[in-house]
Amino acid sequence: MTYGSVMLLTTYSPVADVVTVTCCIVFAILIKIAYINKSKSFSIFKIMLGLVFVAASIDLVYFIMGDKRGIWPDFIFETLHVLKHLSLMTYLFFYTMYIKKPIWLDKRKNRIYTIIASSLLGLFALGEILGCIFHVTFFIQGSKGHTNIDIFAVAYVSFVLLMYFMAFYYRERVVKQILWGFSIASGLAVVLLVVQNIFDDISYTCASYLFPTVAILYLVHANPFDLETGAVTEIAFEDMVEDNYNHGHELCIMSLYLHEFDNVHKMPVEITTTIRNYYSSYIRNAVLFRITNGRLILAFSTAKNPEYENVINRMLIRFDEEYAHYNVEYKIVIGKTVDAISRDRDYVRFIQYVESKMKQNDVKFYDDKDIQSYIDYNYILSELEDIHRKGDLEDPRVLVYCQPVYNIKRRKYDTAEALMRLKLNRLGMVFPDQFIPLAEEHKLIHSLSKIILHKTCRMIKGLINMDYDVKRISVNFSVGELREDSFCDDVRKIVNDVGIAVEKVAIEITESSSESEFLMVKSRIMELKDSGIKFYLDDFGTGYSNFERIMELPFDIIKFDRSLVIASDKDKRSEDMVASLARMFSDMQYRVLYEGVENDADEERCIEMYANYLQGYKYSKPIPIEDLTRYFTKVVVEQALTSEIPSA
């Protein structure tokens, strides 16, 4: 049998290589026009595809040139033979790198296997080149091609053994579908080569490499389009962001959120049809991504669409027309990619953050302020998670501030409300409105409250040891914290461990409108009341107020919100109404504390409205808890002053 006019000991037909070259071209076209997950390893995949193309093309060139044997010198054929084997060896090296990726090796083992694969490639490539030069491997003599030592076969077996060893030794770390996909594709390639060798044929060598190539494309990079909207998935969106970030390209992204469809299987056909026609007719090379059933993100290159701002305005006008037809509530977020968000591929969460501050049926063009706010948000969240994870009751990032409370009957400051602050390296002082909602949302608030309670108890003990008159200091807890099974035990343990009397501590909670929460709150209050801890009802006069439920809960002090203080100053009728509420509580043996007292007029009015305690900026802004010594008085001083008063 002949390979062109160069006599070989094997059979060759160009059909398989023609098919291989054609498949490579088809793959390249599909990669260009379809959406492929362009992860960091995608460039390696393209190199591998190119190597198969080169190897098959070399076979075809060798076959064509072989018909004109006398024109070309022997070393040309020998060089082509070496280049083909080097291409396929390099392919095997990169395929080993792919096998290594889903195993998630640590840095040391990753480096070891990379060195092994690199060494194999270098060793066999050098052997192939030198062997050809010195006629140890393939060479041409006369009209025949000869192979003494088949280094390529040894290289092939070595790489296959290495890949199978890695795949099955670390099989517990690999997603089973990926493991079997790679293994079966590689196994079929080996079987094809074995069968080919049995029949003394070399036609299917390059074609066998298509099997693992297709496996990589399908298992790692496949991302089918949604036939209804033409959208691809969130992973594809993240890959597109990463790819453009790595190449320094700017994207414009437009997010459309239709919350009505988030919990349904699919949007109505008429809406998906409108969306498909909507974006494809405006933007060049735009890609639509379906993040959830109700969220779509359109992304496109600003460089390829220089008039994109005008186009966006036209799209929004068109959208208003469609909204009038469908009347589906929406939120639209628009902006250009920035390194701070692209670096972490975090646009979906960023968009959700921006949306959380929007009203329905609104359009938001996010700016640098929104981006910085989100970066701060993420930083605060990471610090809260770290505080929660460490569980250190002395964590220096959590500060206790407090606001002294004036006792009208005793005409002195003997109580206070503990307040929470964070002090973070990057942001400095962080106030409650920035982190408490975040801590509550992510169920991290109880860790903070325990730290505040512990530090407050320590301060109470310190003040008492210095002979200061401390009646109590209150600490705020959210209703959500009371759901914790360990809540009562946590509170008792912290107070007992510090070693202060439980009546020196009070707990402030807000009222709940939920029946199940009410029963739970009542149970927790009753349990801790038996231990001697006082309870405040915080923010009375805001939101939900059910007097029947309040009466059922054994609160000690009712805190009237600043809004009631303001309302009482409007007219006599409003003042009488607030006073009546306060008198009712006083008659039922509750104590009344007014918050937000800011001037003498507020003070005078609140005293007339049955106040027992007053709190607000008239007396003090929130101060570090250590500064309470400026407000509290020492018991020994009071006793001394009392002893100086002559007896009657």
- 120 and 256 fall within a common domain: no
pLDDT(496) > 90: yes
Residue 371 within any structural domain of the chain: no
- 430 and 307 fall within a common domain: no
Q: Which tokens is 371 given?
A: 């981006």
Rounded CA separation 185/311 (Å)? 46
CB 317 within 8 A of CB 341: no
- Residue 394's CB is within 10 A of a number of other CB atoms, namely 9
pLDDT(643) > 60: no
Of 18-22, 213-217, 499-503, the one with minimum mean pLDDT is: 213-217
511-533 residue pLDDT tens: 765 666 778 888 888 999 888 99
Strands (E), 381-520: 398-407, 412-424, 428-430, 472-476, 505-510
Closest CA to 487 of 454, 525, 460, 516: 525
- 202 and 264 fall within a common domain: no
What total number of domains does the chain contain?
A: 3
- 350 and 435 fall within a common domain: no
Average pLDDT over residues 488-508: 95
**What separation in angstroms does the CA of 484 have from each of 444, 453, 477, 487, 489?**
12, 16, 12, 5, 10
Closest CA to 141 of 7, 39, 264: 7
Average pLDDT over residues 434-459: 95
Calculate helix-pair angle for 234-246, 347-355, nearest 10 degrees: 110
- 279 and 148 fall within a common domain: no
Residue 644 within any structural domain of the chain: no
pLDDT at residue number 513: 56
Please provide the distance, in angstroms rounded to a whole number, between the alpha carbons at the two ends of the chain.
Answer: 135
- 414 and 287 fall within a common domain: no
DSSP calls for 544-604: ---HHHHHHS--SEEEE-HHHHHHHTT-HHHHHHHHHHHHHHHHTT-EEEE----SHHHHH
Q: Which helix (H) or strand (E) holds 256?
A: strand 251-257
Average pLDDT over residues 142-165: 80
Residue owning tokens 């968000």: 341
172: β partners: none
pLDDT(273) > 80: no
pLDDT at residue number 40: 67
Output DSSP code: residue 219: I
- 576 and 500 fall within a common domain: yes
Average pLDDT over residues 139-154: 69
Q: Which tokens is 271 given?
A: 């809406």
- 44 and 179 fall within a common domain: yes
Rounded CA separation 341/339 (Å)? 5
3-state secondary structure of 142: coil
Q: Which tokens is 312 given?
A: 């966006």
Output DSSP code: residue 145: E
pLDDT(98) > 90: no
CATH number at residue 560: 3.20.20.450
Residue 282 within any structural domain of the chain: yes
- 210 and 284 fall within a common domain: no
Which amino acid type is present at position 5? Answer: S
pLDDT at residue number 233: 77
Rounded CA separation 132/75 (Å)? 9
Report field, pTM of the whole predicted structure over 0.75: no
Q: Which spans in 170-297 are helix H?
A: 176-198, 205-208, 210-216, 234-246, 269-280
pLDDT(228) > 80: no
Final residue of a domain: which of 221, 240, 271? 221
344-401 residue pLDDT tens: 889 999 999 999 999 999 999 999 999 999 999 999 999 999 999 999 999 999 999 9
Q: Which tokens is 601 given?
A: 């007029």
Q: Which tokens is 542 given?
A: 């805001």
pLDDT at residue number 366: 96
CB 21 within 8 A of CB 57: yes
pLDDT at residue number 265: 60
Of all residues in the chain, what percent carry a pLDDT higher than 70? Answer: 86
Which residues are CB-neighbours of 310 under 8 A, at least 6 positions away?
Answer: none
Residue 646 within any structural domain of the chain: no
Residue 480 within any structural domain of the chain: yes
- 22 and 72 fall within a common domain: yes
Which of 89-98, 135-144, 401-410 is modeled with the greatest confidence? 401-410
Average pLDDT over residues 227-235: 69
Rounded CA separation 342/357 (Å)? 21
pLDDT(93) > 80: yes
- 280 and 173 fall within a common domain: no
Average pLDDT over residues 83-98: 92
Higher pLDDT, 122 or 233: 122
pLDDT(226) > 70: no
pLDDT at residue number 255: 93
Which residues are CB-neighbours of 35 under 8 A, at least 6 positions away?
Answer: 223, 225, 232, 236, 240, 287
pLDDT at residue number 70: 57
Closest CA to 327 of 294, 361, 297: 361
CA atoms 428, 508, 591, 561: torsion sign: positive
- Residue 287's CB is within 10 A of a number of other CB atoms, namely 20
Question: Predicted confidence band at 137 (pLDDT cuts at 50, 70, 90)?
Answer: confident
pLDDT at residue number 530: 87
DSSP calls for 47-84: HHHHHHHHHHHHHHHHHHHHTTTTTS-HHHHHHHHHHH
Residue 647 within any structural domain of the chain: no
Question: 469: domain range?
Answer: 378-639
**What separation in angstroms does the CA of 66 have from each of 2, 4, 61, 395?**
9, 4, 8, 79
Higher pLDDT, 266 or 387: 387
Q: With b meaning 16 or more CB within 10 Å and e meaning fewer, what string describes 483-514?
A: eeeebbebbeebbeebebebebbbbbbbbbee
Rounded CA separation 617/250 (Å)? 50
- 308 and 400 fall within a common domain: no
**What separation in angstroms does the CA of 238 have from each of 244, 245, 297, 335, 390?**
10, 10, 11, 16, 32
Average pLDDT over residues 119-124: 95
Final residue of a domain: which of 331, 366, 401? 366
On average, the pLDDT of the chain sits at: 86
Rounded CA separation 507/538 (Å)? 10
Final residue of a domain: which of 164, 194, 221? 221
Residue 156 within any structural domain of the chain: yes
Closest CA to 152 of 84, 76, 75: 84
Angle at 578 between CA 573 and CA 583, to 5 degrees: 120
Output DSSP code: residue 263: T
Of 93-97, 349-353, 539-543, 642-646, the one with minimum mean pLDDT is: 642-646
Which residues are CB-neighbours of 436 under 8 A, at least 6 positions away?
Answer: 420, 445
Of 11-25, 222-236, 248-262, 372-386, the one with minimum mean pLDDT is: 222-236
Rounded CA separation 534/532 (Å)? 7
Of all residues in the chain, what percent carry a pLDDT higher than 90? Answer: 51
- Residue 191's CB is within 10 A of a number of other CB atoms, namely 12
pLDDT at residue number 2: 34
pLDDT at residue number 638: 53
pLDDT(225) > 90: no
Question: Predicted confidence band at 3 (pLDDT cuts at 50, 70, 90)?
Answer: very low
Residue 263 within any structural domain of the chain: yes
pLDDT at residue number 551: 78
